[in-house]
Chain A
Amino acid sequence: MTSAINRRQFLQLAGIGGVGVVFASALPGVAHAAGQDDFYFVQLSDTHWGFEGPPNPDAKGTLKKAVASVNAVDQQPDFIVFTGDLTHTTDSPVERRRRMAEFKDIVGGLRVKDVRFMPGEHDASLDSGKAFKEFFGATYYTFDHKGVHFIALDNVSDPRALIGDEQLAWLAADLGQQRADAPIVVLTHRPLFDLAPQWDWATRDGAKAIELLMPFRNVTVFYGHIHQEHHHMTGHIAHHAAKGLMFPLPAPGSQPNRSPLPWDPAQPYKGLGFRSVDAEVKEAACRITEYPVVKA
């Protein structure tokens, strides 16, 4: 996709061929950000740069196509987030850095330059996030955008899938500065709740983070790791998993193993994609839209 398309056409792409879904959801509390403009951001996840294998014959091309698809929109997002597993794991520190450099070079082609990165276990678990920090900076941090407070949590640099007491204390201190009705968006890699412990789709101390977030009325979590769209509520907190951009994984618990779903030559890139999240301040609503890698 090289020709420019407008925002409305971009949204319509989601429905073509049944490969995308517009998911109406809430980014609660955004309405409280009085005087702020509507905005949207794009979430990409699990690009696994460096992976090679039958689940994706276009392993070297898929990320570039996704970048081109995002760039083709005339009204660009305010910012873009990558929720982990930017690269596929390797035992070699040299190769890990080479993959991160290549990934960074490719996503450097995004028109939007405000890009936020989170690590996945493939990026960070074998070296406690050392290489990730060299290329992308801190593994957990906050930022504010048009009245919304964003919190990036790291649940992968500890290979035991722990957030850890130090980061939890940091989270508690940050939340202590927020109003109870503040719109808060959490970005992370693994699910914070026990989605499928039999497949290691969990964060061992994720419940502690959720407990810290529970007093806040307007919290939404966006994460990756499971390579498919998924929506779940823990109390009033919504958790939205994103599709990946290398290979799709099966639905939680649907088969004995979590092996990648096979590539379908009749429907290339099926199960892959990215999403936009619209914060519609004036309408007090938010919209999640799922996109295929390429226009159908």
Chain B
Amino acid sequence: MKLDMRLLRIAAGAAALGLASIATYVAAQPAQPKEKVIRIDAKRFDYTPGELTLKKGEAVILELTSRDVLMGFNLPDFNLRADVVPDKVTRVRFVPDKTGSFTFLCDIFCGSKHEEMNGRLTVVE
């Protein structure tokens, strides 16, 4: 079989994406007393708040809720995701281990503007 490997190698290189680190993920556990709790409310088609700023190395508990339908909360750069179920609080413990600006998004298709349902996490020193 003839295969244009040069083109494929270029495409493969451009598409290469990696997860730089792994976040700690504990679902449905109560918040520890000293850890900051951040509530994120999802509804079609946004999160409130849509922008978060956290400190590197500082543990937080994300409390995720949905006002309408089943949503996802996915922070791919930290390998963190959770289902966000209506009428339920989903708790995720998160310790950002790198600085930068990162996208979080809904990864459960929820309607016409699903593709626009994302937010931004900034992690500072």
Contacts and interface: CB of A to CB of B under 8 A. Distances in A.
Interface in B87-125: 103, 105-112, 114-116, 118, 120
A30 B76 CA distance: 38
A230 B15 contact: yes
Interface stretch (A8-16, A18-26, A136-144, A261-269): A18-26
A200 B8 CA distance: 22
A121 B103 contact: no
B70 A159 contact: yes
A295 B15 CA distance: 30
Interface residue SS majority, chain A: loop
Given A231-B11, A253-B17, A200 B105 contact: yes
A25 B103 contact: no
Main secondary structure of the interface of B (DSSP, over half): mixed
Interface in A234-268: 238, 251-253, 256-259
B108 A159 contact: yes
Contact of B109 (A23, A121, A196, A257): A121
Interface in A194-236: 194-200, 204, 218, 230-233
Contact of A28 (B1, B17, B77): B1
Contacts of B115: 200, 258-259
17 contacts: A23-B4, A26-B1, A29-B1, A160-B83, A160-B108, A195-B15, A195-B17, A197-B76, A198-B77, A199-B105, A200-B105, A231-B8, A251-B14, A252-B15, A253-B17, A284-B1, A285-B2
